């Protein structure tokens, strides 16, 4: 089992390597791939050194699986080349997500859609992944009509430059800027670029990706995505309106049994999910479970997950694990 990690030196690529190691992924050969300036440098995996290779070299090595986290343009250019070499690509960029020919996969929700013919598989947006893991079991039971979500997203979702900006501002140091404004002691209601309808691309990703992953265009979604000066995880306030009424105890029971979900909901003892608790964890945490008293058949939830892990690297590795388990590679 030869596995390439494309973008191995980036924030998500580094976490992919960590997750592969932690989960004891059954690879026999690791092929780290990065930009030309990194070729020849070494990364350490399971105590061994591996040289970083170029894209062309990696393709010539014909890996079984390529985990991509190197940006949309890189993916559009090179994922088809890996596919031609017989490799199954799991891509973390937005490049392929809304392509009708490409599966958009969250293993707990829709891994069953995958077949041996799916040679490019898209990993959804981080904020969408953690939300649909919670939505799916509730939709199966009560049928969701509408979702209103506001996100509180970590600077790690932007990348290394954003983390540096936050830490520089905290130290009073001037440096490169990832955002148009200060992020420390501030909140930016702006993630990705604005589109003609006044929403950002991040907000529209959450709308369209939710419908695609859940295989249901009747679920209405509206989103406001917000960047906050936090590292370690994304948080979401989610309001869900159902077709059918629900019992709160049953909702908790469903979520407690849901794969990949941990319920942290004990307000009497001030227990609720926070990014610090989700940091470096693979699960999605849900709490503040309560009825929306302003609308019938509506529920409020608070959802938190590590955006670099379940929101990116772990989800991709879980897809790869599923492919191996079902003998699709």
Tens-digit pLDDT profile for residues 181-198? 999 999 999 999 999 999
328 is in an annotated binding site: no
In the chain, CATH 3.40.50.720 covers 2-123+312-326
pLDDT at 260 over 90: yes
What CATH number is given for 2-123+312-326 in this structure? 3.40.50.720
Measure the CA–CA gap between 197 and 9, rounded to whole angstroms. Answer: 36
Q: CB under 8 Å to 285, separation ≥6 — which residues?
A: 261, 262, 263, 264, 273, 277, 278, 303, 304, 305
What's the longest Cα–Cα distance across the chain?
61
| Paired tokens of 268 | 């009497």
Task: Map 146-205 to HEC letters.
Answer: EEEEEEEECHHHCCHHHHHHHHHHHHCCCCCCCCCCCCCCCCECCCCCECCCCCEHHHHH
153 is in an annotated binding site: yes
224 is in an annotated binding site: no
In the chain, CATH 3.30.360.10 covers 127-154+187-305
109 is in an annotated binding site: no
Measure the CA–CA gap between 96 and 76, rounded to whole angstroms. Answer: 8
Mean pLDDT, to the nearest integer, of 253-258?
98
Is pTM beyond 0.85? Reply is: yes
pLDDT in tens, 3-46: 999 999 999 999 999 999 999 999 999 999 998 899 989 999 99
Identify the CA nearest to 221 among candidates 307, 148, 125. Answer: 148
11 is in an annotated binding site: yes
307 is in an annotated binding site: yes
195 is in an annotated binding site: no
Task: Map the chain to HEC letters.
Answer: CEEEEECCCCHHHHHHHHHHHHCCCCCCEEEEECCHHHCCCEEEECCEEEECECHHHHHHCCCCEEEECCCHHHHHHHHHHHHHCCCEEEECCCCCCCCCCCEECCHHHHHHHCCCCCCEEECCCHHHHHHHHHHHHHHHHHCEEEEEEEEEECHHHCCHHHHHHHHHHHHCCCCCCCCCCCCCCCCECCCCCECCCCCEHHHHHHHHHHHHHHCCCCCEEEEECCECCCCCCEEEEEEEEECCCCCHHHHHHHHHHCCCEEECCEHHHCECCCHHHHCCCCCEEEEEEEECCCCCCEEEEEEEECCCHHHHHHHHHHHHHHHHHCCCC
For the CA atoms of 158, 163, 166, 172, what is the dihedral angle to 10 degrees? -140
Helix pair angle (248-257, 126-142), 10° resolution: 120
Mean pLDDT, to the nearest integer, of 153-175?
96
pLDDT at 87 over 90: yes
pLDDT at 283 over 90: yes
**Residues with catalytic annotation?**
126, 234
- In this prediction, residue 232 carries a pLDDT of 84
Look up the CATH superfamily of 127-154+187-305: Dihydrodipicolinate Reductase; domain 2 (3.30.360.10)
pLDDT at 117 over 90: yes
- In this prediction, residue 72 carries a pLDDT of 92
Mean pLDDT, to the nearest integer, of 295-313?
97
Tokens 């399971």 locate to 46
Average pLDDT, the chain: 97
9 is in an annotated binding site: yes
């Amino acid at each position: 089992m030869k596995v390439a990690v494309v973008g191995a030196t980036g924030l998500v690529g580094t976490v992919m390597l960590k997750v592969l190691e932690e989960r004891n992924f059954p690879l026999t050969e690791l092929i780290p791939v990065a930009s030309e300036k990194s070729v020849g440098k070494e990364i350490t995996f399971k105590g061994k050194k591996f040289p970083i290779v170029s894209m062309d070299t990696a393709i010539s090595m014909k890996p079984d699986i390529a985990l991509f986290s190197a940006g949309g343009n890189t993916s559009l250019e090179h994922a088809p080349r890996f596919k031609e070499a017989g490799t199954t690509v799991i891509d973390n960029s937005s490049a392929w997500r809304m392509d009708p020919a490409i599966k958009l996969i969250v293993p707990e929700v829709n891994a069953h859609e995958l077949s041996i013919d799916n040679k490019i598989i898209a990993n959804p947006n981080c904020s969408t992944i953690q939300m649909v893991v919670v939505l799916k079991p509730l939709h199966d039971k009560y049928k969701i009509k509408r979702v209103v979500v506001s996100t509180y997203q970590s600077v790690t979702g932007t990348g290394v430059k954003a983390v540096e900006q936050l830490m520089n501002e905290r130290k009073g140091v001037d440096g490169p800027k990832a955002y148009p404004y200060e992020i420390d002691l501030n909140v930016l209601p702006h993630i990705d670029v604005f589109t003609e309808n006044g929403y950002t691309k991040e907000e529209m990703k959450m709308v369209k990706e939710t419908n695609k992953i859940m295989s249901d265009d009747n679920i209405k979604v509206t989103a406001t995505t917000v960047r906050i000066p936090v590292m370690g995880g994304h948080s979401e306030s989610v309001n869900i309106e159902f077709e059918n009424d629900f019992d709160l105890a049953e909702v908790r029971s469903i979520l407690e049994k849901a794969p990949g979900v941990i319920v942290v909901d004990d307000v009497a003892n001030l227990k609720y999910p926070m990014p610090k608790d989700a940091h470096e964890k693979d699960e999605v945490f849900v709490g503040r479970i309560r009825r929306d008293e302003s609308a019938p058949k509506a529920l409020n939830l608070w959802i938190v997950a590590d955006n670099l892990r379940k929101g990116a690297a772990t989800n991709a590795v879980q897809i790869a694990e599923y492919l191996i388990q079902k003998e699709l590679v």
